[in-house]
Structure 1
Amino acid sequence: MRVISGSARGRTLKAVPGMGTRPTTDKVKEALFSMIGPYFDGGAVLDLFAGTGGLGIEALSRGMDKAVFVDLEYKSIEVVRSNLKAAGLEDKAEVYKNDAERALKALAKREAAFDLVFLDPPYRLKHVDKLMETMDSLKLLKPEATIVVEYDSSFEYPDSFGPFKEVRKAKYGEAAVSVYNYEQQESSPVQEPGKEE
C-alpha cells in the first residue's frame, strides 16, 4: 500500500496487523480519487472508519488542508499515526480512538464541518445511510460536501435519501463505491401569523 499521488506520492503505508481491517486496494483508491478529485484546493476531510488512514492520507496528499481520523481499534490508531508520520502529514491531522457515532457528536460540539467524508466500515455494518443522516442533523457537512461510501458489492444503498444524492457508483469485485453529494436543504422562511403572501 502506498500514497498514489500528490505531495506524499510513493510513500509506503503500513497495514493494520491481523485480519480485522480490510484496507482499500491501491487500484480501488486510484479509481475512487479519479471520481471525486483527483486533486483538491483545500478543505477538511473526515475518515470515520480510518483503518490504516490510507484514504484520508491520500486526500491530504492531494491538497486537502486538514483531516480527522477516527477508529475504534487501538491497533488502527497506532497505524494511522505511523502512516501520517511516514507521509509527513501529521501536522495536518487529528487522530481519535472512538466509536463512529460518539465521534460525530464530539465533532459537532466543536462545530467541525467537512467538505469530504470517507465511510469505509467493516462490511458487516450496513448502517452508513443512518450515519450520514446523523451528520446532516449535527450540521457536520458543508454545502455540496462529498461523501464516499465503500461497502460489500452484494449490498445496495439507496440512490438518494434526505439531502444525499448518489452521483457516481462503481463495483470492483467484492467492493462497491458510491459517491454522494450533500445537497443542503434551504430552510423555508417562517410566515408570520396573520400576514398574507
Structure 2
Amino acid sequence: MRIIAGTARSLPLKTIEGLETRPTTDKIKETLFNMLQNDVPGCYFLDLFAGSGQIGLEAISRGALYAVFIENNRKAAKCIEDNIAFTKFTKESRLLTTDVISGISNLEGKYTFDIIFMDPPYRQGLEEDVLRFLSKSSVLKPDTMIIVEASLDTDFSYLDELGFSVIKFKKYKTNMHVFIQQKRV
C-alpha cells in the first residue's frame, strides 16, 4: 500500500495486520481519486473509519489543505499516526481516536468539510447511522461530497428522507463507491 500521486508519491504506508481493517486497493483508490481530481486540491477532507489513513493521506498528497482522520481502533490509530509522521503531513492533519459519531460531534462548530469519505465495516448499518447524524451536522457545507465505500448489497433507500441524493456511484467487483450530496433546495 502506498501513496499513488502528489507530493508524497510512492511513499509506502503501514497497515495493521489481520482482518480488523480492509485497506482500499491501490487500483480502487486510483479510480476514486481520478473521479475526485478537480475536487481535492484546496479542500478540507474528513476520513471516517480511517483504518490506515491512506485515503486522507492520498488527499493531502494531491493538494487537500487539511484532513481529519477518525478511527476508534487503537492499533489502526497508531498506524495512522505513524503514517502521518512518515509522510510529514503533521501540520495538515488531525487524528481523533474515538468512534465516528463522537468524533464528528467533537468537530461541530470547528470545521466544515468539502469531502467526507467513509469506509465502515460492511453490513453493520454504520453508514446509515453516520449519514443520519451528518444530515443534521454543521460539518457539512451545502455542496459537501460524501463518499461511502460499501458492499454491493448495501441499501441506501433511506437517503431521500435524510435530504440526501446519490450523485453518482462506481461499482467494482466486490464493493462500490456511492457519491452523496445534500439535495438542492
The two structures have a TM-score, normalised by structure 1, of 0.86
Instruction: Give, in angstroms, the shift of residue 115 of structure 1.
Output: 0.6
AA at the equivalent of 2:167: V
Map residues 128-147 of structure 1 onto 2, 5 A cutoff: 128-147=127-146
Which protein is bigger by CA-based radius of gyration? 1
Change (3 A) 1:160 1:137: closer
AA at the equivalent of 1:139: S
Map residues 14-163 of structure 1 onto 2, 5 A cutoff: 14-37=14-37, 40-108=40-108, 110-158=109-157, 160-161=159-160, 162-163=162-163
Q: Is the 8 A contact 2:123 2:154 kept in 1?
A: no
Instruction: Give, in angstroms, the shift of residue 133 of structure 1.
Output: 2.8
AA at the equivalent of 2:86: A
Gaps of 5+ in 1: 186-197
Instruction: Give, in angstroms, the shift of residue 88 of structure 1.
Output: 1.8
AA at the equivalent of 2:148: V
Q: Percent identity?
A: 32
Residues in 2 aligned to 1:21 and 1:132: alpha-carbon distance in whole angstroms: 21
CA-based RMSD of the aligned residues comes to 1.7
The two structures have a TM-score, normalised by structure 2, of 0.91
Instruction: Give, in angstroms, the shift of residue 14 of structure 1.
Output: 0.8
Q: Deviations over 1:116-165 (max 9, x none)?
A: 10110111322313312312312211121111100111223238423322
Instruction: Give, in angstroms, the shift of residue 36 of structure 1.
Output: 2.1
Q: Is the 8 A contact 2:6 2:63 kept in 1?
A: yes
Q: Is the 8 A contact 1:39 1:63 kept in 2?
A: no
SS in structure 1 at match of 2:91: helix
SS in structure 2 at match of 1:4: coil
Residues in 2 aligned to 1:7 and 1:39: alpha-carbon distance in whole angstroms: 17
Q: Deviations over 1:54-80 (max 9, x none)?
A: 111111111110111011111011100
Say if 2:31 is the partner of 1:4: no
Residues in 1 aligned to 2:153 and 2:163: alpha-carbon distance in whole angstroms: 25
AA at the equivalent of 1:101: I
Gaps of 5+ in 2: none
Aligned positions, number? 184
Q: Is the 8 A contact 1:168 1:180 kept in 2?
A: yes
Residues in 1 aligned to 2:105 and 2:50: alpha-carbon distance in whole angstroms: 17
Q: Is the 8 A contact 1:4 1:30 kept in 2?
A: yes
Give the aligned partner of residue 193 of structure 1.
Answer: none
Instruction: Give, in angstroms, the shift of residue 81 of structure 1.
Output: 1.0
Q: Is the 8 A contact 1:123 1:151 kept in 2?
A: yes
SS in structure 2 at match of 1:95: strand
Q: Is the 8 A contact 1:17 1:75 kept in 2?
A: no
